[in-house]
Structure 1
């Protein structure tokens, strides 16, 4: 029995050492892969981390988009599963994210934020944040809402986790903090390392305010994110001339559209025909859909309806679809089913 116990103990020590070496290797490799994925100097790299909506599906996670430019990793929205998608790319949720920008405060755009924040201050290849999480969001103008209130609520709700990890795992207190910035729309809200982020108001419905889209400029390159919106002239104004336009879409069948509860929802979003009109007026080098909501219609129908008002090429985004904005805009396919999702150590190629 003593001999068996000794062997078990030695096996546990060896296993623990192997895990430790793997973690160190992952952390080191993740840093290298993160730099590799940032693109060539002067480029913007955009990755659709989540292209779905509120539905808790497995093929499309909640809304989230990663924009890499000027050596920065900027995250726009933090829907369900965002931390998982970052881990698949080898980008830590902690030290790998420089700032988070929220378009509005619907649950499907923020429900991954607690995971991103807390996972980010843990140790391991997915964490190691050494400063507060920077969080930007639109203000309602009253001083009572916005990113600051979310930050206060999160730190209060999860105070026990932060307290325990600081005491038990020696997590630095600063890593558990959130540096929140509320802003008014239609202005530059972030400027760093040559990267400029402009927030502009969009119309997501009379009761869903504030709500914004974002334009990111880096040198002569740009990408615009619609956020959740109806057809909106202000979006067209700020997006005009952008290299890549990433826009939401909501398509339903004629039968479902007749349901009383469906009309208010549809009225908060952009139909394929309306999106095609937006694309035609903005004239991006490439347009792509995210926040893809299809109710009673297929993706082929979505494409066909869009082509009725837009003749140029466009993409229907999938999770982990990537765009590289250089002299032109190149895209790489994402995942198309749950079976395609790569589950592996952070830092390995997806």
Structure 2
């Protein structure tokens, strides 16, 4: 695995034009997509950007991740590595867009080297089949627009638990999580830099491995699910969906035990009989407060966090957010 990782990181493209990466001693986290397969305009599906030193790391590539990066003036080709938690469509449907659009010779893309992708078993096969599926597009663009073939190659690796990426002082470790008996392996990630730690739960039922990994973390980004019982009567498949995720009460208990500096909800499953365009925060907060009184942010697309000697949260418009506490 280490020889493969060495080959992978050797071809990582350097950062090109766009908004500057996080300062040397900081980590910056941006929620690009906080939603699910539900096609809400306000919450694209799962994707999180972490910037640490010169590294720009993208976790999951849900619907609209390229659009959110464009909104942040971050060139698609400047992402140094991509990590998948599992292969459900709402976590990978944006991969072909990131891959192919990121290759286009423009100020907002221009990947010159292979797209570095880490994920559970099946990731390499997926990239190989995508290359076959888009072979005509690739042929035409090389022939007609003279893009470098290296920029549309994949440097992909199937990974398991453990350290999977180390570069420029940034360490990424994968942890196995419980997203159900038939969705294996499913991964969460721990990102460490300059004594700081961010934990992403991935899609999971309540899992002590997430709790342990997140002990004392600066930021714990955890999924959550609220499903109307009436909906399950009409659409029984929602029972399986509910069984594969974490309720607000369960998430609150994890936050209470792990004691991160800040707990954040993302990948918010919110399903009602009559679909709603926006996820109401009140239902999540009230149920979470039955088991957790610490600082909490309900993530929205483009909510961001800067981790230095403390954790600062910012709304999509850049204004500061005061995390909610049990006293509010």
CA-to-partner distance for each residue in 1:226-273, whole Å, 9 max, x for gaps?
000000011112121211000000012343355533221100000000
Q: How far off is 1:55 after superposition?
A: 0.9
Residue 180 of structure 2 corresponds to residue 205 of structure 1: yes
User: Where do 5+ consecutive residues of structure 1 fail to align?
Assistant: 1-29, 140-145, 336-350
Q: How far off is 1:299 after superposition?
A: 2.2
Greater RCO, 1 or 2 (C-alpha within 8 Å, sep 6+): 1
1:151 alignment counterpart: 127
- What pairs up with 1:119-138 in 2 under 5 angstroms? 119-138=101-120
Q: Of the two, which has the highest radius of gyration?
A: 1
Question: Which of these residues, 133, 136, 140, is aligned with residue 160 of structure 1?
Answer: 136
- Give TM-score, length-normalised by structure 1: 0.82
Question: Which of these residues, 66, 76, 89, is aligned with residue 59 of structure 2?
Answer: 76
Residue 83 of structure 2 corresponds to residue 114 of structure 1: no
Partners of 2:28 and 2:51 within 8 A in 1: yes
Return the alpha-carbon distance in structure 1 between the equivalents of residues 138 and 93 of structure 2.
19
Structure 1 stretch 153-162 or stretch 254-263: which is displaced more? 254-263
Question: Which of these residues, 298, 320, 339, is aligned with residue 302 of structure 2?
Answer: 320
2:6 alignment counterpart: none
What SS does the aligned partner of 1:117 have?
A: helix
Question: Which of these residues, 42, 47, 56, is aligned with residue 39 of structure 2?
Answer: 56
Return the alpha-carbon distance in structure 2 between the equivalents of residues 120 and 51 of structure 1.
22
Return the alpha-carbon distance in structure 2 between the equivalents of residues 254 and 298 of structure 1.
17
CA-to-partner distance for each residue in 1:68-96, whole Å, 9 max, x for gaps?
002111000000000010011111112x1
Residue 81 of structure 2 corresponds to residue 99 of structure 1: yes
Partners of 1:119 and 1:126 within 8 A in 2: no
- What pairs up with 1:142-291 in 2 under 5 angstroms? 146-185=122-161, 187-257=162-232, 260-291=236-267
Q: How far off is 1:219 after superposition?
A: 1.5
| Larger proportion of helix | 1
2:320 alignment counterpart: none
- Give TM-score, length-normalised by structure 2: 0.87
User: Where do 5+ consecutive residues of structure 2 fail to align?
Assistant: 1-15, 273-278, 318-328
Question: Which of these residues, 27, 49, 69, is aligned with residue 44 of structure 1?
Answer: 27
Partners of 2:23 and 2:52 within 8 A in 1: no
Return the alpha-carbon distance in structure 2 between the equivalents of residues 269 and 166 of structure 1.
43
Considering only aligned residues, what root-mean-square deviation do their CA atoms show, in Å?
Answer: 1.3
Partners of 2:23 and 2:53 within 8 A in 1: no
How many aligned positions are there?
295
Runs (4+) of structure 1 exceeding 6 A deviation are none
CA-to-partner distance for each residue in 1:92-114, whole Å, 9 max, x for gaps?
112x1101000000000000000
